[in-house]
Amino acid sequence: MSEHGCRTAEGLLDSPDGQLRLAFGLTERGRPFYSLRYGDRPLLLESALGLVLTDAPPLMEGFRVNHVETEESYEEWRPVYGEREQITDHYRSLKVELVQQDEAGRRLVLEFRAYAGGLAFRYVIPEQAGLERFTIEREASQFHLPEGCRAYEEHGAEGEYTQVLIKDMKPDCERPLTVVYPGGYYAALLEAGVDDYPRTLFTVNPEQPWIVETALSGLLTGFVGYGLMDEGLPEEEKSHRAVGKAPFATPWRLALVGENPGQLLERNDLVLNLNAPCRIEDVSWVRPGKLIREMTLSQEGGRRCVDYAACMGLQYVMLDWGWYGDPFDDASLCTRPEGEVWFYSKHSGNHTLSVPELVQYAAERGIGIILYLDRRAVETQIDEFLPVFREWGIAGLKFGFVNTGPQRWTRWLHECIRKCAEYRLFVNVHDAYRTTGYSRTYPNLLTVEGIRGNEHFPTARHNATLPFTRYLAGCGDYTICYFDKRLRTTHAHQLAMSVIAYSPLQSIGWYDVPADAQGEPELEFFRVLPTVWSDTRVLAGEIGELAAIARRREEQWFVGAITNERIRELAVRLDFLQPGVRYLASVYADDLWNTASRTQVSVTVKEVNADTVLLMQLAPSGGQALWLRPMSPEGGG
């Protein structure tokens, strides 16, 4: 904040564990501000709050405190699926009603929630005369960081990460924005509960370069993941503004806090806590799982993928781009697929693909079919194709290149997800959209992309950055391309990423075809791998250097460990296992000297327990995966 001479804090709020302390106050000009401490360490210095309106004076200053309300809330709830089977929602809240000291006397409520490991706040505009409808031009929400802080900036929903000083950040950074403090602790800035509102990005105040500010974002182009979206759209459909009607609440702005990067990931349930509970009464049809993508878009290719999926423990086959013709052609009807098979097909000609027949063939083998739909088809045909797809027996849909950013398109996408729920169809949203926890409310939103995943063949350093940046927001469809020759990591690294990269709908074979698999013994790991979890633990983590994550499904544990381009020896304690129980561990490790193995992965089986320390030898850009299951009393697995 540039204004000095602040009054004594009007309110204090401590987190339930006493580690975070929020101070709230008003400046001499009646402008609201807050600060945050983490123990005895500064997390956020005095940071301004307020709203700038397009069609009315700003809600930024001239305030007095009219009413303050505090409470404590504790709830335990079970998600339909997730990284943990039970989530604790425990916070202390502070609600401050502000009134402007002028004739209009407009009111604004600031709502704060302090958790063990995070602080969230939002703006609420209550019902009042003279402010029934409004347009928010921007939020004046600040995060004033101490000098010397660094951030992992990313530009574009499928961009790469660069560590920079806060003052050197370029505008429009993606969220989450992970921050490293000079004292060695960490924070991450996110948003949660976005529904009828624009996407928020982060930018630096040009006059005070250690202050990060929220930036409401319309459609963006020129960054990876933002292209192909704005052609022909009117300006109002690209807008960054938020139009509202009182009573109105903005999404939550959230700061996660941790002593190390792993604590940030272990605390990302706060994103879900800040969303509304599930609104689907019967969720029995929402089934997470693994998929292979069918590349030939032919009846024969579809059957081969179904047979492969049934053999390999996958649950779905996805027909991707082009199954109903050219997705860029508005004349292509997904209820009557005919014409050229486009893009992935290596031959021209007419469709020979009968989707209903393939669905029946797959259903007889316990496999579901997923269909890709470009945004053009979804925008113009959704009310026509939903009943048809339900009749065909389709399991789920993948939406591609959806417009992302403006309020209008957030509202549209969420309406589509709700409509799909009415027809018992799950959704995978690809390209620029990122989750802010909406899957708690509508769990048929199984996963989203919004990530530089394996289809881009990223570096090992990028992969070791993702758990502590992008995955703080929640699920991300990483699209594993296990057999592709363009990979820049070892195959053991890829196995480990299937554990590290959380996605309830996991794309195991993105560029692969069934013939690529030649009986490699490590494929067993993909066969037994779950995609949703009872518990998640971060065993080790340094951003861009290494990550080791353990996830439990019922009694079995799966571990993924990766390194960047540096060779590394990593000692992993198995003290997360149940004491007194013997486990059988299958170890899938780098074996780069084994020229007889195409994938150079060794598979060994050993007995372990909670006292075991495994010494992992990780090759450059390598990794290791573990499958641990309790042994029977007789000693078997």
Interacting residues of 68 by C-beta distance below 8 A, sequence separation 6+: 10, 11, 94, 95, 96, 97
pLDDT of 350 above 60: no
pLDDT digits (tens, 9 = 90+) for 505-542: 999 989 999 999 999 999 999 999 999 999 999 999 99
pLDDT of 349 above 60: no
pLDDT digits (tens, 9 = 90+) for 64-114: 999 999 999 999 999 999 999 999 999 999 999 999 999 899 999 999 999
Give the least confident one: 46-50, 133-137, 329-333, 433-437.
329-333
Residue-level pLDDT at 4: 45
* Exposed e or buried b per residue across 56-86, where buried means at least 16 C-beta atoms within 10 angstroms of its C-beta: beebbbbbebeeeeeeeeeeeeebbbbbbee
pTM (2 d.p.): 0.96
Specify which residues 344 forms β-bridges with. none
Residue-level pLDDT at 329: 84
Query: 3-class SS at 8?
Result: coil
Which residue in the block uniquely carries the two structure tokens 């992969």?
463
Residue-level pLDDT at 326: 83
Q: Give the angle subtended at the CA of 559 by the CAs of 472 and 446, to the nearest 5°.
A: 45
Rounded mean pLDDT of 477-492? 97
Percent of the chain with pLDDT over 70: 94
Residue-level pLDDT at 637: 59
Residue-level pLDDT at 460: 99
- Sequence-ordered strand ranges (E) for 360-424: 368-374, 396-400
Listed residue (503, 396, 374, 395) closest to 449, CA to CA: 503
Residue-level pLDDT at 208: 97
Name residue 126's amino acid.
P
pLDDT classification of 469: cutoffs 50, 70, 90: very high
497 neighbors 560 (Cβ within 8 angstroms): yes
Which residue in the block uniquely carries the two structure tokens 């849909």?
397
Provide the residue count of the chain: 637
Residue-level pLDDT at 305: 98
pLDDT of 209 above 80: yes
How distant, in Å, are the alpha carbons of 351, 435, 533 from that of 530?
Answer: 35, 21, 7
pLDDT of 348 above 60: no
Rounded CA separation 242/54 (Å): 10
Q: What is the DSSP string of 234-291?
A: -GGGS---EEEESSEEPPEEEEEEESSHHHHHHTTHHHHHTSPPP--S--TT---EEE
pLDDT classification of 342: cutoffs 50, 70, 90: low
Specify which residues 161 forms β-bridges with. 154
Which residue in the block uniquely carries the two structure tokens 């004076």?
57
Rounded mean pLDDT of 279-288? 99
pLDDT digits (tens, 9 = 90+) for 239-278: 999 999 999 999 999 999 999 999 999 999 999 999 999 9
The average confidence (pLDDT) of the chain is: 94
Residue ranges and CATH numbers for the domains of the chain are 11-274 (2.70.98.10)
Listed residue (504, 630, 518, 626) closest to 570, CA to CA: 626
Specify which residues 386 forms β-bridges with. none
pLDDT classification of 594: cutoffs 50, 70, 90: confident
pLDDT digits (tens, 9 = 90+) for 139-190: 999 999 999 999 999 999 999 999 999 999 999 999 999 999 999 999 999 9
